[in-house]
């Protein structure tokens, strides 16, 4: 009997794919690794997905057209690797009675570690100092700011937001939280607020929220008047939460001191993006969750889920 085939398109999982071959084999599945370092296009997915019984999705555009093509072929189940789901048309899967789930609540610690790294990098300018020493052979001594006693605003109080708050509080900061579904956590001394009230108090603004209709473009040109001069901005959530044109405007005017972005409106960041001209900014490659420990844990969870789905049918 031929084993069901599972198509894997998630880059972090692909980076350690050899480690998971035994995991697939143990549950009676064959793994086929996509050739990609970011995402496949809709056209590529329409050509590929119908050949497989299961699909472990990365940040690929899992659109209705892709789902329909998959269903017309062999596709019987899918798992979205990771937390974010804005690239997946869940309604399309539901309409075709194809089971699909993500792996929620799995990267809080990893992404929060990066958020803290970025916060410290912006406030103490450590990344900029490193580049000046290596690239320009200089010996700079900029006066950064301390996190202790500063006010940090965190947008989103899910798993990532809570873990970020825990780390920021340990630095002695005051934390304001924005989340319409805020729930008190007795272990975290944070103050909830309604967006965008009290933003003018924040020395640091950190986005950890998912992308949805409410959060898309919530940082925009109209918001700039609410910001405290010299604010630092961090985004480890989703790129389109920030309108980059507004961020560039704030950086050019000096209203915003600097920004650290692990995610962008379009990825990879284009070679001609105006963001590249701000030397004190820090950029990542949408890699905040990608620790080897987390990748192993979440990949095995995804394999378990896809195996369970395919076993039912």
Span 24-49, pLDDT tens digits: 999 999 999 999 988 999 999 999 99
**What's 19's domain CATH number?**
3.40.50.720
In the set 43, 266, 267, 279, the catalytic residue is 267
Question: What's the domain range around 173?
Answer: 108-283
Are the CB atoms for 40 and 15 separated by under 8 Å? Answer: no
Claim to verify: residue 101 and residue 118 sit in the same structural domain:
no
Claim to verify: residue 150 and residue 99 sit in the same structural domain:
no
In the annotation, is 267 catalytic?
Answer: yes
Are the CB atoms for 232 and 185 separated by under 8 Å? Answer: no
Claim to verify: residue 82 and residue 135 sit in the same structural domain:
no
Claim to verify: residue 129 and residue 255 sit in the same structural domain:
yes
Q: What is the pLDDT of residue 313?
A: 64
Tell me: the pLDDT tens digits for 159-176? 999 999 999 999 999 999
Residues of the chain short of pLDDT 50, as ranges, are none
In the annotation, is 244 catalytic?
Answer: no
Claim to verify: residue 189 and residue 261 sit in the same structural domain:
yes
Q: For residue 188, what are its two tokens?
A: 């975290």
Q: What is the pLDDT of residue 37?
A: 87
In the annotation, is 257 catalytic?
Answer: no
Claim to verify: residue 161 and residue 230 sit in the same structural domain:
yes
In the set 166, 232, 238, 257, the catalytic residue is 238
CA atoms within 13 A on the CB side of 242: 28
CA 45 to CA 266: how far, in whole Å? 19
Distance of CA 250 to the CA centre of its chain: 23
Distance of CA 143 to the CA centre of its chain: 30
As a 3-state breakdown, the chain gives helix, strand, coil percent values, each rounded to 5, of 40, 15, 40
Number of folded domains in the chain? 2
CA 34 to CA 275: how far, in whole Å? 31
């Amino acid at each position: 009997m031929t084993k069901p085939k599972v198509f894997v398109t998630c880059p972090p999982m692909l980076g350690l794919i050899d480690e998971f071959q035994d995991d697939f084999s143990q549950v009676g599945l064959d793994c086929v690794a996509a050739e990609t370092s970011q995402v496949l296009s809709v056209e590529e997915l329409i050509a590929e997905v119908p050949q497989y019984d299961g699909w472990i999705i990365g940040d690929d555009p899992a659109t209705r057209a892709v789902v329909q093509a998959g269903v017309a072929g062999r596709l019987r189940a899918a798992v979205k690797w990771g937390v974010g789901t804005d690239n997946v048309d869940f309604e399309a899967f539901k309409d075709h009675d194809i089971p699909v789930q993500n792996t929620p609540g799995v990267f809080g610690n990893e992404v929060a570690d990066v958020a803290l790294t970025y916060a410290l990098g912006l406030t103490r300018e450590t990344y900029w100092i490193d580049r000046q020493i290596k690239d320009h052979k200089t010996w700079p001594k900029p006066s950064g700011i301390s996190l202790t006693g500063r006010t940090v605003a965190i947008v989103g109080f899910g798993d990532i937001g809570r873990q970020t708050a825990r780390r920021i509080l340990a630095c002695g900061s005051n934390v304001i939280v924005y989340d319409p579904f805020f729930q008190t956590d007795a272990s975290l001394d944070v103050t909830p607020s309604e967006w965008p009230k009290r933003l003018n108090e924040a020395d640091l603004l950190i986005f950890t929220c998912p992308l949805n209709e409410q959060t898309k473009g919530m940082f925009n040109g109209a918001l700039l008047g609410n910001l405290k001069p010299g604010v630092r901005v961090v985004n480890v959530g989703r790129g389109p939460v920030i309108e980059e044109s507004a961020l560039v405007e704030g950086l050019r005017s000096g209203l915003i001191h600097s920004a650290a972005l692990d995610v962008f409106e379009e990825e990879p960041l284009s070679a001609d993006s105006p963001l590249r001209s701000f030397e004190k900014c820090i950029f990542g490659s949408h890699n905040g969750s990608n620790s080897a420990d987390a990748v192993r844990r979440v990949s095995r969870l995804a394999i378990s889920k896809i195996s369970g789905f395919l076993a039912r049918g």
